């Protein structure tokens, strides 16, 4: 038994991708596997996504693209993030398409592609309201697209944007962004009919059919996490990740005795405490101090006392005899306890919960319980 283990069901990722690909059709599905597959493992997640119908993959950094190629993952690949000159070389060596939104950047990509002797696909980004990467100036985006199409060794492969509010109930701003983007994108398509037009994330894919266009870029949804921060089952999605540990210690705690740093928990009655060897060093956040539950033998019990780097304590309940024994398995995510619940308790989103599971927690990949 390991002190902590993140179990990832690749069959669930495959089924989630099939669900999203079906919802998006006839648009293509691009599976986003950045940040080590949102904490699930980028390489196995990418392969499972492709098996489920994803025809493109996307990452945020050049090294993420290089890691996929080094592992033998093939197929169209897009780096959506900003790149330095050094990172651009890595991305081009990995045969990845890259994002661009300035004419000068298109020229720089062409120079590096020529120097390396490779061809490069460019996706021009129009900022329609996210306010991060991309140009807000449609005329500048058009000039960049023209420069990419004309440059030797470059190919204008796509045009794209990113929605700021697709996961919110009010779709007004999403539709404003979509209208702004499509008005420009379809002008570009007049001159470049083969260009791939894409905008939708998981939330927009599920909630706004008009946003699906030629391709959707789904991240959170492929892992069975709800883009709307509720219950994945509402969207027909299946959580792929479980975080598991065990009771390393069970001991009596008399009324008035405490647990953890700062005595953040003082027992009001005689009870039994269990210690689980997981803490914020593993990504189980300190904000869950006295603010979470875990599942022991099918029963939810509260986390009590401060979350420390390597351990948490739980109140197993009163009784003459210990209600659980050392070695008992524990689910911190799983057995009905969703990442969305932990996110709600922390005032954050499910993305941060799974991305935050640290590297010292091994990932075990399986397919519905069978070794992957």
What span, in angstroms and rounded, lies between the C-alpha atoms of 126 and 211? 15
Question: Measuring CA to CA, which residue among 73, 188, 94, 206 is closest to residue 141?
Answer: 188
Burial string for 21-58 (b: 16+ CB within 10 Å, else e) reads bebbeebbbbbbbbbbbbbbbbbbbbbbbbebbbebbb
Strands (E), 62-136: 77-79, 97-100, 120-125
DSSP helix/strand/coil, 202: helix
DSSP helix/strand/coil, 15: helix
Sign of the Cα pseudo-torsion (218, 220, 225, 229, in order):
negative
Q: How many CB atoms lie within 10 A of CB 129?
A: 18
What span, in angstroms and rounded, lies between the C-alpha atoms of 350 and 220? 8
Q: How many CB atoms lie within 10 A of CB 154?
A: 22
Residues serving a catalytic function are 34, 261
Burial string for 253-286 (b: 16+ CB within 10 Å, else e) reads beeeebbbeeeebebeeebbbbbbbbbbebbbbe
Q: Which residue has the tokens 């298109």?
A: 106
Q: Kindly give, in sequence order, each residue whose CB lies less than 8 Å from that of residue 259, ignoring residues fewer than 6 positions away.
A: 253, 265, 267, 273, 304, 305, 313
């Amino acid at each position: 038994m390991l002190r902590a283990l993140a179990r990832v069901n690749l069959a669930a990722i495959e089924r989630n991708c099939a669900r999203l690909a079906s919802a998006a059709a006839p648009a293509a599905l691009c599976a986003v596997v950045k940040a080590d597959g949102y904490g699930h493992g980028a390489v196995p997640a990418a392969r499972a996504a492709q098996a489920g119908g994803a025809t493109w993959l996307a990452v945020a950094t050049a090294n993420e693209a290089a890691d996929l190629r080094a592992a033998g993952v093939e197929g169209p690949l897009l780096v959506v993030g900003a790149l330095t000159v050094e990172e651009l070389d890595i991305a081009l060596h990995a045969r990845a398409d890259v994002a661009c939104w300035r004419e000068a950047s298109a020229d720089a990509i062409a120079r590096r592609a020529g120097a390396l002797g490779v061809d490069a696909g460019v996706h021009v980004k129009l900022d329609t309201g996210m306010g991060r990467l991309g140009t807000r100036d449609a005329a500048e985006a058009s000039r960049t697209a023209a420069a990419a199409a004309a440059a030797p060794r470059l190919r204008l492969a796509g045009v794209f944007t990113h929605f700021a509010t697709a996961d919110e109930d009010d779709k007004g701003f999403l539709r404003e962004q979509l209208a702004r983007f499509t008005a420009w994108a379809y002008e570009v398509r007049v001159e470049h009919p083969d260009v791939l037009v894409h905008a939708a994330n998981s939330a927009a894919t599920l909630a706004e059919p008009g946003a699906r266009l030629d391709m959707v870029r789904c991240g959170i949804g492929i892992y069975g996490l709800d883009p709307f921060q509720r219950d994945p089952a509402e969207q027909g999605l299946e959580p792929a990740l479980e975080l598991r540990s065990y009771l390393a210690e069970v001991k009596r705690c008399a009324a008035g005795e405490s647990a953890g740093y700062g005595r953040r928990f003082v027992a009001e009655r005689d009870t039994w405490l269990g210690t689980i060897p997981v803490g914020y060093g593993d990504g189980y956040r300190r904000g869950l101090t006295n603010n979470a539950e875990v599942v022991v033998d099918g029963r939810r019990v509260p986390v009590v006392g401060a979350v420390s780097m390597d351990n948490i304590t739980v109140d197993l309940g009163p009784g003459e005899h210990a209600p659980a024994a050392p070695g008992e398995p524990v689910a911190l995510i799983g057995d009905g306890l969703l990442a969305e619940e932990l996110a709600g308790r922390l005032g954050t989103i499910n993305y941060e919960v799974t991305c935050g599971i640290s590297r010292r927690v091994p990932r075990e990949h399986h397919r519905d319980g069978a070794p992957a």
